[in-house]
DNA sequence: TTGAAAGCGTTACCAT
DNA sequence: ATGGTAACGCTTTCAA
């Protein structure tokens, strides 16, 4: 069933039928009703490809998911696109995902832009050495970054957490509890987000006049076993920390395992505070959650990002106007933190 | 830059240029080279929407991701589509993902089919009461199920793990080690995969002449806290299990926490064997992995599924011919299992 | 080996 | 308020 057949049945022109279906005002209420009814009865729906070609809009947004063999798949990504997908559905947009080897990423962006596959792109996980935004500008395709680029904050639209402040607050919180040696299990510090988090950690320590001890800091993929490994190393050292700050729930779970396997109690002997991205299969919820955390929903970030990008695409005028959205993280008190014990270690 | 402009520059017809670019044999080698060179120099790439309309093929596959507010987002899904996405890229296909509220799922399939948004669909997580395959047949769109439907195994193409056998083997393995009371932490038993796994567990016990104790079995979302909760309940009961069989690594991590918090040692006092979907951020690898497991990569399943569906789409003739692919799970010995201790509890 | 022109199923401009 | 027709950018049939 296509437009031609439908309009034949109705004894109307394709023009009128199209207008009726698309809500144009110049169609009589009566005709519109007739058209809508018949379309429903016959199960007509416009062919998407024809519509795209005719309008020049694909009504779809692209996400590129780089996957190198030795790098983990980020659960954050999934949560983010689930949020974004919700918004897309609301606005009638589709979501296209390209899974690609890391080194092909630029080629993929070129192809997407050249072949006009989508109306806009969301760029994930900006790195310290970021170039994708320059490429996409050159390719002249609307895009939004999930995460700022240091030094280029005003050059793109972005949605980001205030990572620095969140981690400064978390560290400050531990300092207030009397902790002075705080282990820091961070994500890969090639990533923008991890760089900012480290700054926050260091800022708080500096302000409190604490010494910065590099041996207390670790940077790695955010997996549970690595969390255990690093936390164990620290706990077994000659001058172990009394608290841990971790960049993800998985690292926190790993750290907890390490603490317990050392015969210590979390919250009592050793405190743990973690960043919580609100990953749905790693719940840390309830009245008093298991982990004290700085919490910011990445699913929500996805929703906001999608909204901003779509709005940007619709208001074409905003050609060089960038929209940025900073999300603050809440500090949620859980059961994994407590005052520092004196004279341990 | 479009085909018209490109062919003008070349003083060739659009026809010839199109043929040259698409590898048709009737173009002279010389002409083809000229066309290819110029296309490269000018950065020409065919507009995807025009191509789709002209050919009637979208070169894309759809995945529907139902997300109800109170249900977790499945990490399995992400791993699967990452695998599938790799195959799509190889074949030049795109991946379209629709995130949708659970109750809208049928409407989404209808729209995808009516509007010809994709060439095929992969259906995830079949349930006990499954109807989507009937709908998709009616809608006359190629599709493949990730997971069989009991009673309709011959009616669709599918890729699945031999869940029953895998869980029977795992249970058998524990029985061989002398365990008689085995706690079973399963996924949601509305799901096909969980039903099969339970059958495997029960089969093995039955064959060994063990009593089936319903209090040893639990079914829930596969999260770490729920694993802890159920395992703790069992360990504190009057007749606790000496081993656990779990349906996911997250449940296994939860169970491990419970075991340790009871002052017991995993592998020594209590054994744990788990199904391992090879989720990249929950690694359980190495010479002797942390958890003894029955392992089957869901990323690989995604790749195979994509291959089968694409092949099916290309060979249109196979209209009523279904391809099925059963994956066996390996039993990998790790550090979390050992002989049952006598006279415990 | 090359080209002209129809066709894919819409939307949108220009008439009426 | 409705209709005819061009246009979107390709592929494909038919001719030459």
Q: B281 vs chain A: nearest CA distance in angstroms?
A: 6
What is the enclosing helix (H) or strand (E) of B160? Answer: strand B157-161
3-state class (DSSP) for residue B123: strand
User: Which protein residue lies nearest to nucleotide D13, measured between its Cα and the C1' atom?
Assistant: B15
* pLDDT tens, residue by residue, B70-126: 666 688 999 999 999 999 999 999 999 999 987 889 999 999 999 999 999 999 999
CA neighbours closer than 13 Å in the CB half-sphere of residue A19? 12
Q: B108 vs chain A: nearest CA distance in angstroms?
A: 10
Which among A63, A280, A297, A305 is the top mutation candidate for probing chain B, defined by the most B β-carbons within 10 Å of its own β-carbon? A280
**Which part of chain A has CATH 1.10.260.40?**
3-54
Lookup: nucleotide whose C1' is closest to B16 CA: C2
Lookup: nucleotide whose C1' is closest to B55 CA: D11
What architecture (CATH level 2) is domain B3-54?
Orthogonal Bundle (1.10)
> Scanning every residue of chain B, which has its alpha carbon at the shortest distance from the alpha carbon of A290?
B225
Q: Is the dihedral of CA A269, A293, A76, A153 positive or negative?
A: negative
Dig out the tokens for A83 from the structure. 């949020």
DSSP B48-96: HHHHHHHHS---EEEEEEE--TTSPPPHHHHHHHHHHHHHHHHHT-EEE
The rounded distance, in Å, linking the Cα atoms of A91 and B72 is 24
Lookup: nucleotide whose C1' is closest to B26 CA: C1
**DSSP letter at A270?**
B
Instruction: Please report, rounded to whole angstroms, the spatial distance between the CA atom of protein residue A86 and the C1' atom of nucleotide C7.
Output: 37
Chain B residues within an 8 Å CB radius of A91: none
| Composition of chain B by helix, strand, coil, percent to 5 | 45, 15, 40
Torsion-angle region of residue A327: left (phi > 0), alpha (psi -120 to 50) or beta?
A: beta
The rounded distance, in Å, linking the Cα atoms of A101 and B248 is 27
What architecture (CATH level 2) is domain B60-161+298-328?
3-Layer(aba) Sandwich (3.40)
Q: B225 vs chain A: nearest CA distance in angstroms?
A: 8
- CA B102 to each of CA A340, B74, B223: distance values in angstroms, whole numbers, following the listed order: 47, 14, 20
The rounded distance, in Å, linking the Cα atoms of A30 and A27 is 8
| Contacting residues for B287 by C-beta, under 8 A, at least 6 apart | none
- Specify which residues B65 forms β-bridges with: B99
Q: Which of A65, A221, A224 sits opposite B253 (nearest CB)?
A: A224
**DSSP letter at B127?**
B
> Scanning every residue of chain B, which has its alpha carbon at the shortest distance from the alpha carbon of A117?
B48
Chain A residues within an 8 Å CB radius of B45: 111, 114-115
The H helix count followed by the E strand count for chain A is 12, 12
* pLDDT tens, residue by residue, B177-224: 999 999 999 999 999 999 999 999 999 999 999 999 999 999 999 999
User: Which protein residue lies nearest to nucleotide C8, measured between its Cα and the C1' atom?
Assistant: B54
Chain B residues within an 8 Å CB radius of A223: 281-283
The rounded distance, in Å, linking the Cα atoms of B255 and B251 is 6
The rounded distance, in Å, linking the Cα atoms of A124 and B42 is 29
Dig out the tokens for B171 from the structure. 């249970």
Q: Please report the beta strands in chain A, taking only residues with DSSP state E, as ranges in sequence order.
A: 60-66, 94-100, 120-123, 143-146, 157-161, 182-186, 217-219, 243-246, 271-276, 292-295, 324-327, 330-332
Instruction: Please report, rounded to whole angstroms, the spatial distance between the CA atom of protein residue B13 and the C1' atom of nucleotide C4.
Output: 9
> Scanning every residue of chain A, which has its alpha carbon at the shortest distance from the alpha carbon of B55?
A49
Check whether B318 has a pLDDT greater than 80.
no
Residues with CB under 7 A from strand C: A 2-4, 14-15, 18, 21-22, 44, 46-47, 50-51, 53-55; B 11-16, 19, 26-28, 30-31, 50, 53-54, 56
A100·B89 Cβ contact <8 A: yes
* pLDDT tens, residue by residue, B233-245: 999 999 999 999 9
| Contacting residues for A15 by C-beta, under 8 A, at least 6 apart | none
Per-residue confidence in pLDDT tens, chain A, 345 aa:
999 999 999 999 999 999 999 999 999 999 999 999 999 999 999 999 999 999 999 999 999 998 876 666 688 999 999 999 999 999 999 999 999 987 889 999 999 999 999 999 999 999 999 999 999 999 999 999 999 999 999 999 999 999 999 999 999 999 999 999 999 999 999 999 999 999 999 999 999 999 999 999 999 999 999 999 999 999 999 999 999 999 999 999 999 999 998 999 999 999 999 999 999 888 899 889 999 999 999 999 999 999 999 999 998 765 678 999 999 999 999 999 999 986 444
Round the average pLDDT of chain B to a whole number and report it.
Answer: 94
Kindly report the bases of strand D lying within 7 A of a protein C-beta atom. Answer: 1-5, 7-13
**Which part of chain A has CATH 3.40.50.2300?**
60-161+298-328, 163-296+331-343
| Class in CATH terms, B163-296+331-343 | alpha beta
Q: Is the dihedral of CA B42, A310, A16, A7 positive or negative?
A: positive
* pLDDT tens, residue by residue, B9-38: 999 999 999 999 999 999 999 999 999 999
Cβ atoms of A67 and A125 closer than 8 Å? no
B99·A78 Cβ contact <8 A: no
């Amino acid at each position: 069933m296509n437009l031609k057949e439908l309009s034949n049945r109705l004894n109307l022109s394709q023009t009128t039928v199209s207008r009726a279906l698309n809500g144009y005002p110049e169609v009589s209420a009566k005709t519109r009703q007739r058209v809508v009814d018949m379309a429903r009865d016959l199960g007509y729906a416009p062919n998407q490809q024809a519509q795209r070609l005719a309008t020049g809009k694909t009504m779809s947004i692209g996400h590129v998911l780089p996957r190198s063999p030795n790098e983990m798949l980020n659960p954050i990504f999934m949560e983010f696109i689930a949020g974004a997908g919700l918004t897309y559905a609301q606005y009638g947009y589709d979501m296209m995902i390209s899974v690609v080897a890391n080194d092909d990423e630029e080629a993929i962006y070129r192809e997407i832009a050249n072949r006009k596959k989508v109306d806009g792109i969301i760029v994930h996980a900006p790195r310290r050495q970021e170039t994708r935004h320059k490429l996409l500008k050159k390719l002249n395709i609307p895009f939004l970054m999930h995460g700022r680029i240091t030094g280029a904050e005003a050059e793109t639209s972005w949605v980001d957490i205030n990572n620095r402040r969140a981690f400064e607050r978390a560290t400050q919180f531990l300092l207030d509890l009397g902790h002075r040696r705080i282990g820091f299990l961070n994500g890969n510090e090639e990533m923008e987000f991890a760089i900012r988090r480290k700054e926050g950690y260091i800022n708080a320590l500096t302000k409190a006049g604490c010494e910065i001890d590099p041996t207390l800091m670790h940077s790695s993929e955010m997996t549970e076993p690595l969390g255990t490994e690093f936390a164990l190393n620290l706990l077994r050292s000659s001058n172990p920390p009394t608290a841990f700050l971790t960049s993800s729930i998985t690292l926190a779970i790993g750290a907890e395992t390490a603490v317990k396997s050392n015969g210590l109690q979390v919250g009592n002997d050793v405190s743990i505070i973690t960043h919580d991205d609100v990953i749905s299969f790693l719940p840390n919820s309830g009245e008093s959650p298991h982990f004290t955390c700085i919490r910011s929903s990445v699913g929500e970030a996805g929703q906001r990002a999608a909204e901003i990008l779509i709005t940007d695409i619709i208001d074409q005028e905003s050609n060089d106007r960038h929209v940025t959205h900073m999300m603050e993280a809440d500090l949620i008190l859980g059961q994994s933190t407590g005052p520092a014990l004196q004279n341990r270690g």
